[in-house]
Structure 1
Amino acid sequence: MEPAADANDPLCAEVSVRLPDTIDGLKRSWTDAQATAAWGDPSTVLFSCGLESPAASTLQCVTFGGVDWLVDDTDYPMLRMTTFGRTPAAQAYVDTSKISGDQALDALKLAVGTLPVTGQCTTVSEATPDGDDAPETATE
């Protein structure tokens, strides 16, 4: 794995020491890249901290344990889930043919929840006065 651009941010160190030893029975494999982790053999969940916070997006935004995540299903069944409204951002890349994205995010919520909140998921109708009902999206 390659470290993210801001992997040396002290906040990522706080996240790293709180990462779980297992995710849904998958044991953690130690990586040699700063602020990264992997679970499973072969790796089923890949994690990285120190990414640039994503801008507002039309990607689905889900909340687990008070942490908002943008869900990119471009590589389905692999899901790329990036924290939204957290600086620095963190990302989980999950093989959903082996475990659910929900299970991975649930396991990561305590560690990632330590990152400072800078924004949150909203719906289009919440973000704009004349917006009609729409699925959750990410805006700041």
Structure 2
Amino acid sequence: MLPRPVVPAAATTGALLLLAACAPTVPVTAAPYATDPVCAAVVLATPDSLGDGLDRVATDAQATTAWGEPRDAVVLRCGVEPLGPTTERCESVTTPNGPTIDWVIVEDDGDWTFTTYGREPAVQLLVPGAVAESRSTSFVDALGPAVARTEQLRQCL
């Protein structure tokens, strides 16, 4: 039996860093209040997957995360400007065995924007049309436990 080659730890670490550097990253603009400490807790509590084909991918901005293909990723941003009273569609989404989160939902040319209503810091979920046309956006309920870390001040009427 031949002896196994010994690979120095530095070489292994370097190879892992090189592989990580090759992973696609979704470019995202940080929200104005992304530095709110609650946003870190929200992002860390988000699920690793939102369903088939929507696994977490890296982003390049604070208080953000994304799922899916980098060119058509579902993107969550924490620390967006909280919404005031609105006439836009506001839906209460209940997580199975979990919290209810109010979302203001806006569709624009096939792209969907879900923004929490009555919560601070506010959280926004951007769903590109390419994702919305091929699947339901019911995965929004999976974000309930993470978003519930924000403070609820108001709710949909």
* TM-score interval, smaller chain: 0.7 to 0.9
**Corresponding residue to 2:138 among 97, 102, 115:** 102
Q: Give 3-state SS (helix, strand or coil) of 1:23's partner.
A: coil
| Aligned-partner Cα distance in 1 for 2:59–2:136 | 22
Match of 1:24 in 2: 51
Tell me the amino acid that sits aligned with residue 89 of structure 1.
Answer: A
| Cα-to-partner distance string for 1:58-77 (whole Å, 9 max, x where unaligned) | 1111111210000011232x
Tell me the equivalent position of 1:52: 81
Question: Which residue in the other structure is 2:4 paired with?
Answer: none
Distance apart, 1:17 and its partner CA:
0.7
Percent of aligned positions with the same letter in both sequences? Answer: 38
The match for 2:146 among 108, 111, 126 is: 111
Higher strand proportion (structure 1 or 2): 1
**Candidates 77, 80, 87, aligned match of 2:113:** 80
1:21 Cα offset (Å): 0.5
Larger Rg: 2
**Comparing both chains, which one has the higher relative contact order based on Cα–Cα distances under 8 Å and sequence gaps of 6 or more?**
1
Where does structure 2 lack aligned partners over 5 or more consecutive residues?
A: 1-27, 95-99
Contact 1:81–1:93 (CA under 8 A) maintained in structure 2: yes
C-alpha contact 1:44 1:98 (8 A) present in aligned 2: no
State the SS of the aligned residue for 1:14: helix
CA shift for structure 1 position 107: 1.7
Distance 2:37 2:43 in 1: 10
Q: Does 1:62 align with 2:98?
A: no
Q: Give the aligned CA root-mean-square deviation in angstroms.
A: 1.1
Moved runs in structure 1, 4+ residues, more than 3 A? none
The aligned amino acid for 2:104 is L
Aligned residues, how many?
A: 120
TM-score with structure 1 setting the length: 0.81
